[in-house]
Every structure is written in C-alpha cells, then in structure tokens.
Amino acid sequence: MSTITTSTPSIQSSSTSSSKSSSAGSSSTSNDISAQISRITQQIAKLTDELKNIASGSGTTEQKKKQQELIQQQIQQLQAQLAQLQRKQAQEAEQKQAQQQSKAEGVNPPSDEHSIDIYV
C-alpha cells in the first residue's frame, strides 16, 4: 500500500496599494507574481505526471481512484490560483500602461529629435 502526500501552497494575499509611487515597487510585485505563476505551473506539471503514474503504481483500484481524485482536486485548485494570479498580472500591466500613457499626454519631453536651436 502506497500513499502519496502532497501539499499545495496557498496564495499569500498582500495588501498592496494600487497607488504606488515608485515603479521599482510595482516591478518587484510583478516579479513575485511571475515567480508564483512559474512555481504553480511546475506543481501542476508534477501533479500531472503523478496522475499519469498512478495507473502503473501499486495498490487496489479503489486506492488508485482515490489518489487520482485527490490529485485532480489539487490540480484544479492550482489552476484556480494560476488564473487568479494571471488576472492580477494583467491588471498590473494595464495600470502600468495607463500610468505611462498619462505621463506622455500633453507633455513633449525634450530629446534630440525634439530640440530647437535658438541663436541670439
């Protein structure tokens, strides 16, 4: 009789305000989300492999069925977390884009292309 023990990490809900003043803070949050997405994707792949290997493992068909159901539930939970993180990442990208557009509107920052030479 073999038992499979796995654990699923919970998403840490952080109370980050949407009006961050530094762009470095929002990029580190973005990196955290990307890291969580990567980690969850790896866990889903690992659980999927375990799911495939259940059929060839030892144990009764009833035990295999229970293990299969447990792993499928874990995969569904991870997929829900993944979808939530992807939505959050998309929201942050939209906010960042909106901030960049609002900075650019109405103001033409000086550059080599937009310089005027004045001679007196």
Confidence category of residue 27, pLDDT binned at 50, 70, 90: low
| pLDDT at residue 12 is higher than 70 | no
At 38-81, the pLDDT tens digits run: 999 999 999 999 999 988 888 888 999 999 999 999 999 999 99
* Local structure of residue 21 (DSSP, 8 states): S
Q: Note whether 52 and 75 are within 8 A (CB).
A: no
pTM > 0.75: no
| pLDDT at residue 119 is higher than 70 | yes
